[in-house]
Amino acid sequence: MKIFTAEQIHQGDLYTINNEPIPSILLMERAAASCVDWISENCKNHRNFAVFCGNGNNGGDGFAIARMLYQKGFDVDVFINPKSKYSSNANENLKELRDLSGILIKSFKDAENYRFDSRTIIIDALFGIGLSRNIEDELKDLIDLLNQKKNVKIAVDVPSGLFIDQITDENSTILRADYTLSFQLWKKSFLHPETGKYTGKVEVLNINLSEEYISQTETNDFVISDDEIKDLFKVRSDFSHKGTYGKATIIAGSYGKMGAAVLSAKAALKTGSGLTFVLAPKCGYDILQTSCPEAMFVEGGNQHIEVIEEDENSVYGIGPGIGTDEQTKKALLKFLKDHSRPVVLDADALNCIAETKNGLQLIPEKSIITPHPKEFARLFGATKDSFERTELALKKAKEHDIIIVLKDHHSQIVTPEGKIFYNITGNSGLAKGGSGDILTGIITSFLAQKYTEQEAAVLGVWFHGKAADYAAEKYSKEAMVSTDIINEFGKVFGELNEKAEVKL
Own/partner contacts of 287-291, CB < 8 Å, gap of 24 or more, are 287/258, 287/261, 287/262, 288/253, 288/258, 288/261, 288/262, 291/262, 291/265, 291/266
CA distance 262 to 48: 53
My answer on whether 353 and 391 are in the same domain is: yes
Answer positive or negative: Cα dihedral of 416, 421, 422, 427.
negative
The pLDDT-based confidence of 435 (bands split at 50, 70, 90) is: very high
CA distance 283 to 258: 9
The pTM for the full model equals: 0.96
My answer on whether 193 and 244 are in the same domain is: no
Tell which of 219, 246, 269 closes a domain.
Answer: 219
Q: Is 224 a member of any domain?
A: no
Checking if the pLDDT of 504 tops 50, the result is no
Output the domain CATH number for residue 368.
Answer: 3.40.1190.20
My answer on whether 238 and 214 are in the same domain is: no
| % pLDDT > 90, the chain | 95
Answer whether 316's CB lies under 8 Å from 444's CB: yes
My answer on whether 361 and 310 are in the same domain is: yes
DSSP labels for 308-325? ----TTSEEEE-TT----
CA distance 27 to 33: 10
My answer on whether 211 and 235 are in the same domain is: no
Tell me the per-residue pLDDT of 35-56, one tens digit each, with 9 for 90 and over. 999 999 999 888 899 999 999 9
β partners of residue 4? none
β partners of residue 318? 251, 345
Tell me the per-residue pLDDT of 227-278, one tens digit each, with 9 for 90 and over. 999 999 999 999 999 999 999 999 999 999 999 999 999 999 999 999 999 9
My answer on whether 313 and 444 are in the same domain is: yes
Domain count, the chain: 2
Q: Is 1 a member of any domain?
A: no
Checking if the pLDDT of 502 tops 70, the result is no
My answer on whether 173 and 298 are in the same domain is: no
Checking if the pLDDT of 157 tops 50, the result is yes
Tell me the H-state helices in 20-106: 24-42, 57-71, 88-98
| % pLDDT > 70, the chain | 99
- Radius of gyration from C-alpha coordinates of the chain: 26
My answer on whether 338 and 361 are in the same domain is: yes
* Residue 230: per-residue pLDDT: 93
Closest C-alpha among 341, 182, 323 to residue 261: 323
My answer on whether 212 and 297 are in the same domain is: no
* Residue 132: per-residue pLDDT: 82
Tell which of 196, 219, 242 closes a domain.
Answer: 219
Answer whether 330's CB lies under 8 Å from 353's CB: no
CA distance 94 to 61: 10
Tell me the per-residue pLDDT of 419-433, one tens digit each, with 9 for 90 and over. 999 999 999 999 999
Q: What is the average pLDDT value for the chain, to the nearest integer?
A: 96
Query: Which residues form the domain of 234?
Result: 229-500
My answer on whether 235 and 203 are in the same domain is: no
Checking if the pLDDT of 390 tops 50, the result is yes
My answer on whether 215 and 276 are in the same domain is: no
The secondary structure element, H or E, covering residue 16 is: helix 6-19
